[in-house]
Amino acid sequence: MKITRIGLVVIVGISLLGVCSCSEPVAHETNGDEIMADDTVSTIMDYIKQNHPDAAPFMKEGMSWAKTSGPKQMGYTEATYTGDGWTVTIGHAVTAEIVYEVPAEYDKEAIVWSGTIKDDVITETNYTGK
């Protein structure tokens, strides 16, 4: 991981390292306090699909995502992506050690997944599905 400090701004670049069945590396970058997460959303969905076959039928190949933004919070940044009934939110507290908090939900079938991304590794913290 390369960390560059410019005044009070920390820019972190993390690269995709590979795929594993128990935890999954993910590519994401920050640009100021904006999360650049297109690849991260796809990686999260791939993780859910591989680890929860009951959720796979509700994921279309080549899903497209619309980014929405909520109110900004002091000390926290997040981006929300919606597509084909799914909502994926990627956020983190603005601290020296970045741990992304990621809930993913499918509204029609009550599938709820949550996890974290730290040091390029996805860790599942909860899953509820049919």
According to the 3-state scheme, what is the secondary structure of 29-53?
EEECCEEECHHHHHHHHHHHHHHCC
Query: 5 φ, ψ to 5°?
Result: -105, 130
Residue 11: how many other CB atoms lie within 10 Å: 13
Q: Which of 54, 62, 53, 35 is nearest to 110 (CA)?
A: 54
Residue 51: how many other CB atoms lie within 10 Å: 16
Query: 21 φ, ψ to 5°?
Result: -75, -25
Q: What is the pLDDT along the chain (130 residues), one digit of tens a residue?
A: 443 333 333 222 222 223 333 344 444 444 433 454 568 898 999 999 999 999 999 998 888 899 887 667 889 888 899 999 999 999 989 888 999 999 999 987 789 999 999 998 999 999 998 7
The overall pTM is greater than 0.75: no
Kindly tell me the burial class for residue 97, based on how many C-beta atoms sit within 10 Å of its own C-beta (0-12, 13-18, 19 or more): exposed
* Both structure tokens of 27: 């590519």
CB-side neighbour CA atoms (13 Å) of 118 = 12
